């Protein structure tokens, strides 16, 4: 047995780990390297293994720093199954196709400039079609159900509580007389977070590979965050302004909508117009609505009693760019939730320019 780490070591993106058991090779995650243009250019480097020799992939969750190079892996010869949670498969259909679309759009823009400068044209990292082809190789699992995915390798997914469908991958290995259990945490959720269950403990393992992004600090209590959010909304309403919230399309956006609905009266949200200004976040919210069985007990109770935990009467789903531009005509009374979560691109940039210039 042998493990090689090819990403997310001394950095927080590009998660990729190769496990060899006997004659078989298994990849855990195959994520995009994200950051500045120099970092992202590394995604075009050859894989440090032959994709055609990989027998299967285990995917912990849908975020692109864990899933984003799967179409590239398939393009370069990988033909095996991609094992993941059912909700992750649904989210990846959206996220990988969106990534392919953006790749094509960015390259088309770049090539227009290159044509004018008589420079060599470039190709997208992968296309929407490549993303669709990769999705055909997904194989869905539920939490707690064990599956033998290769000779000598049994996979069990445990709830990681990070985003919908996120999983801790428990791999029970057998090679000759040797037995061991490897546990890959994926990204772990924050205990007490809205909607999802807390990460599920794994009681026994021989080796654990665990994310440590926030391993050197303590998060403040959730109650402090909700109190601050209520104060921000109260201040903005008194000042007759708008509120802009950069948010990741998958995970953070759904948490915000859920919390807004729970505090609708307390925070006076009926006085606002709330815009979800992200086509991908709108699609991802539909996936969240579909998979209520993986919610925590509180969210399931809300779902059973009052229905959709994300729906409010004054929420506008802004799908098209023309709708997004209309929002910028409002100088007060708007709450805008838009990507990107880190303000590195997307529609939030335009809202910032119009509101905080």
Helix (H, G, I), strand (E, B) or coil at 342: coil
Is the pLDDT at 167 greater than 80, yes or no?
yes
pTM: 0.94
Contact in structure between 162 and 61 (CB atoms under 8 Å): yes
For 274-301, the pLDDT digits (tens) are: 999 999 999 999 999 999 999 999 999 9
For 232-250, the pLDDT digits (tens) are: 999 999 999 999 999 999 9
DSSP state letters, 302-329: HHHHHS-TT--TTEEE--SHHHHHHHTT
For 305-339, the pLDDT digits (tens) are: 988 999 999 999 999 999 999 999 999 999 999 99
Mean of the pLDDT values across residues 163-171? 98
CA-to-CA distance for 164 and 195, rounded, in angstroms? 9
Helix (H, G, I), strand (E, B) or coil at 87: helix
Q: Which residue shows structure tokens 């760019």?
A: 321
Is the pLDDT at 212 greater than 90, yes or no?
no
CATH topology of domain 222-355: Rossmann fold (3.40.50)
Contact in structure between 17 and 184 (CB atoms under 8 Å): yes
Tokens of 40: 């992202």
Provide the pLDDT for residue 325. 96
Contact in structure between 231 and 207 (CB atoms under 8 Å): no
Is the pLDDT at 357 greater than 80, yes or no?
no
Give the chain's mean pLDDT.
95
Burial of 70 (C-beta count, 10 Å sphere; 0-12/13-18/19+): buried
Q: How confident is the model at residue 213 (pLDDT cuts 50, 70, 90)?
A: confident
For 90-137, the pLDDT digits (tens) are: 999 999 999 999 999 999 999 999 999 999 999 999 999 999 999 999
Is the pLDDT at 36 greater than 90, yes or no?
no
Query: Which part of the chain has CATH 3.60.15.10?
Result: 2-209
Is the pLDDT at 2 greater than 80, yes or no?
yes
Burial of 266 (C-beta count, 10 Å sphere; 0-12/13-18/19+): exposed
Provide the pLDDT for residue 344. 84
Distance of CA 274 to the CA centre of its chain: 23
Is the pLDDT at 34 greater than 80, yes or no?
yes
Provide the pLDDT for residue 279. 95
Is the pLDDT at 348 greater than 90, yes or no?
yes
CA-to-CA distance for 116 and 241, rounded, in angstroms? 43
Q: How confident is the model at residue 1 (pLDDT cuts 50, 70, 90)?
A: confident
Provide the pLDDT for residue 306. 86
Superfamily of domain 2-209: Ribonuclease Z/Hydroxyacylglutathione hydrolase-like (3.60.15.10)
For 257-280, the pLDDT digits (tens) are: 999 999 999 999 999 999 999 999
Contact in structure between 237 and 268 (CB atoms under 8 Å): yes
Contact in structure between 143 and 84 (CB atoms under 8 Å): no
Provide the pLDDT for residue 244. 98
Query: Which part of the chain has CATH 3.40.50.10890?
Result: 222-355
Identify the weakest region by mean pLDDT among 23-27, 33-37, 115-119: 33-37
How far is residue 246 from each of residues 103, 124, 337, measured CA to CA in Å? 22, 27, 6
């Amino acid at each position: 047995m042998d493990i090689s780490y090819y990403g997310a070591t001394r950095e927080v993106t590009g998660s990729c780990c190769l496990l060899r058991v006997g004659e078989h090779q298994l990849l855990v995650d195959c994520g995009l390297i994200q950051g500045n243009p120099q970092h992202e250019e590394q995604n075009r480097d050859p894989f440090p293994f032959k994709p055609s020799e990989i027998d299967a992939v285990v995917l912990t969750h849908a975020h692109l720093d864990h899933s984003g190079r799967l179409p590239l892996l398939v393009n370069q010869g990988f033909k095996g199954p991609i094992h993941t949670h059912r909700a992750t498969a649904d989210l990846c259909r959206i996220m990988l196709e969106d990534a392919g679309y953006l790749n094509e759009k960015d390259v088309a823009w770049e090539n227009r400039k290159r044509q004018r400068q008589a420079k060599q044209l470039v190709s997208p990292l992968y296309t929407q079609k490549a993303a669709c082809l990769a999705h055909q190789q997904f194989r869905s699992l539920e939490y707690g159900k064990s599956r033998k995915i290769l000779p000598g390798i049994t996979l069990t997914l445990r709830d990681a509580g990070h985003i919908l469908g996120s999983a801790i991958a428990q791999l029970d290995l057998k090679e000759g007389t040797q037995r061991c259990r490897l546990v890959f945490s994926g990204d772990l959720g924050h205990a007490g977070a809205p909607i999802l269950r807390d990460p599920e403990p794994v009681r026994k393992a021989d080796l654990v590979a665990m994310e440590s992004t926030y391993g050197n600090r303590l998060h403040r209590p959730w109650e402090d965050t909700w109190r601050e959010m209520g104060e921000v909304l109260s201040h903005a309403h008194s000042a007759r302004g708008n509120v802009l919230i950069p948010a990741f399309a998958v995970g953070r956006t759904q948490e915000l909508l859920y919390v807004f609905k729970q505090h609708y009266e307390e925070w006076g949200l009926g006085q606002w117009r709330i815009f979800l200004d992200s086509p991908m976040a709108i699609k991802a919210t539909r996936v969240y609505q579909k998979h209520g069985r993986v919610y925590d007990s509180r969210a399931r109770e809300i779902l059973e009693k009052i229905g959709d935990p994300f729906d409010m009467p004054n929420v506008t789903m802004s799908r098209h760019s023309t709708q997004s531009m209309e929002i910028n005509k409002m100088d007060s009374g708007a709450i805008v939730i838009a990507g990107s979560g880190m303000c590195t691109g997307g529609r939030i940039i335009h809202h910032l320019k119009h509101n905080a210039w």
